[in-house]
Chains A and B, each alone.
Chain A
Amino acid sequence: MADLRIDDVSMTFRLPNGGEVHALSNVSLTIRKGEIVSVLGPSGCGKTTLLNILAGFLAPTGGEVWLGNHTVRGPDRERGMVFQQGALFEWMSVRENVGFGPRMAGRPKAEIRRTVDHLLDTVGLSDFKEKAIYELSGGMQQRVALARCLANDPDVILMDEPLGALDALTREKMQGLVLDLWKETGKTVILITHSVEEALLLGERLIVMAPRPGRIHREYRLPFAEMGAGGDLRTVKRHPEFAAKREEILSMIWEMEEEIMGRAEAAE
């Protein structure tokens, strides 16, 4: 029963020049344990801000975040984070990166070794355990980031455009990996993306956010994550319903953008 409850969260940044940015305004959302949720929205609508609040890097100016029966105050191993890129530690080998969490917690060496070996097998990097981070490709680095996050056995995994810097082919492989890991581990996953296709594939629930002020615009329930887990993503993408949903969401985003543009013009 460790649901993640976002309760009326607002975030207002005060700018040095006295102005204010309403990055989030009254966002409420409950994510069940074991759910995978994708978040989509135009640039600047507060996706990263929301994730940083969930991770505990930022304290909201209003509202609270609950995980199970306690509120979120600061970062904690119960909520793991996977960044877009550059968050691995170059001064450590692949093995040391993945074992970082357990090592900081003072777990016994033999146990860390077993965990790391197992996880690197799972993400397909068993031949690269002793390699340096800068010897790996971008896709492999993100595999390490995933494994490092899982090594801590967090309840919730937060991902901010984790596949955004990868080429199309690597990205598709990694989408499959994320789905499989989600299914195998039963973790709660929240994933931000700019790609509509990725949002459809990797969300049992898809949240579309709107900017100024940042808020939840629409919510969709989708069958594709369940279909894709352990199976073939390409088959899922060929599904007629997938194409239909993609069109629906794309036109909805276009409408939203036009509405925003219209409002901006009216304000001038």
Chain B
Amino acid sequence: MTVLAIYVGLILVAWAITRFALAPLTSVDDFTRRKTVTFGDESAVRASRAASVFSVLAIFLIWGAFTGSRLTPLHAPEAWRMAPIWLPPPEAVWGRVVTIASDGYRNFTLFEHLIASIWRVVGGFLAGALLGIPLGFAMGLNGFLRGWFDPIVEFMRPVPPLALIPLVIIWFGIDEKAKIILLFLASLWIMAIAARAGVAGVKLSKVHAAYSLGASRWQVLRYVILPNALPDIFTGARVAMGVCWGTVVAAELVAAERGAGMMIMVASRFMSTDIVIMGVILIGIIGYGIDMLMRIAERKLAPWKGRG
């Protein structure tokens, strides 16, 4: 309760600063500012950068205040503070990042743990995309193949990949190959469905235009259907990457020798809360980074998305 009240108080302070102190410095007299009606107009709502910065600061401030951090100017009364075993102060977590980055944890450095997780995601996703995209195309273009694969894809789609972990462990064990297979299965159906939607979404007039311009069936596939499906494939890839990242962490929680999930699981057994928190933060940052990269790739490779 107290934490919530303080948080709301910080929001109000930050709002007052952005509104009265910073606004005259940062505002630009552009088209949006000339609008007299902005409430209800989504395009007129732009995220305030200052607010985002304050938001991050507020979290660290509260975190520090309740853990007796040396970095925060104000502190909660002794009785309300959290013991480091439940929640260590920010600088302790940062200290852990530094030591694990250089000395390692459980035989592997921080970098090696994270790279292990990322590598599994990339490998599993690529395998899933490599098979899923052609599968989706085949389903979009051929009635027999659509009929053949529809029940399989529609059945597998609602099965959460986490539910496959026990089966994958029974069949393939807990080594690297098993994890890649799990992520492959997680991304396969997403990519197949995205590619199928991309094929189905092609406007008939584009296909007709290509044929009457003299394109062969293969050329229609290569120059019309494939590029037309790209935006849908990218949307699918972003979803698949997100799912894979979540799945790999979960799979590492269950069984792994290295990886972000393994790190926090083992640490929690020893009550090393600082490592757990560090792990969670890094997992969040990497997940966000992956999505950013996918979005950049999408803008570079399919800039016409949504503008047909």
Contact = CB atoms under 8 A, between A and B. Distances in A.
Asked if A and B are interacting partners, one says yes
Interface of A: 55-57, 74-77, 79-81, 83, 86-91, 100-101, 104-105, 132-134, 148-149, 152
Interface of B: 203, 205-206, 208-216, 219, 223-224, 227-228, 230, 302-304, 307-308
Chain A binding surface SS class: loop
10 contacts: A57-B208, A76-B212, A79-B212, A80-B212, A83-B208, A86-B203, A87-B206, A89-B206, A89-B210, A91-B302
A134 B213 contact: no
Given A100-B223, A134-B304, A77 B214 contact: yes
Contacts, number: 73
A83 B205 contact: yes
Contacts of B213: 77, 80, 100-101, 104, 148-149, 152
Contacts of A105: 214
A144 to B, nearest CB: 12
Contacts of B228: 91
Given A86-B203, A91-B230, A104 B214 contact: yes
B205 A87 contact: yes
Given A76-B214, A77-B214, A89-B223, A134 B208 contact: no
A132 B208 contact: no
Given A83-B209, A91-B302, A91-B304, 11 more contacts: A77-B213, A80-B212, A81-B208, A89-B210, A89-B227, A91-B230, A100-B223, A104-B219, A133-B304, A134-B307, A152-B214
Given A91-B230, A104-B216, A81 B302 contact: no
Nearest to A132: B304
A198 B237 CA distance: 47
Given A104-B219, A132-B303, A134-B307, A87 B214 contact: no
A90 B205 CA distance: 13
A87 B208 contact: yes
Contacts of A101: 213-214
Contact of B308 (A56, A81, A134, A152): A134
A86 B215 contact: no
B209 A90 contact: no
Contacts of B216: 104
Given A104-B219, A148-B213, A91 B227 contact: yes
A87 B204 CA distance: 8
The 3 closest A-B pairs by CB, nearest first: A77-B214, A90-B304, A134-B307
B308 A90 contact: yes
B205 to A, nearest CB: 4
Contacts of B303: 132
A56 B209 CA distance: 11
A180 B211 CA distance: 26
A56 B304 contact: no
Nearest to A90: B304
B208 A75 contact: yes
A56 to B, nearest CB: 7
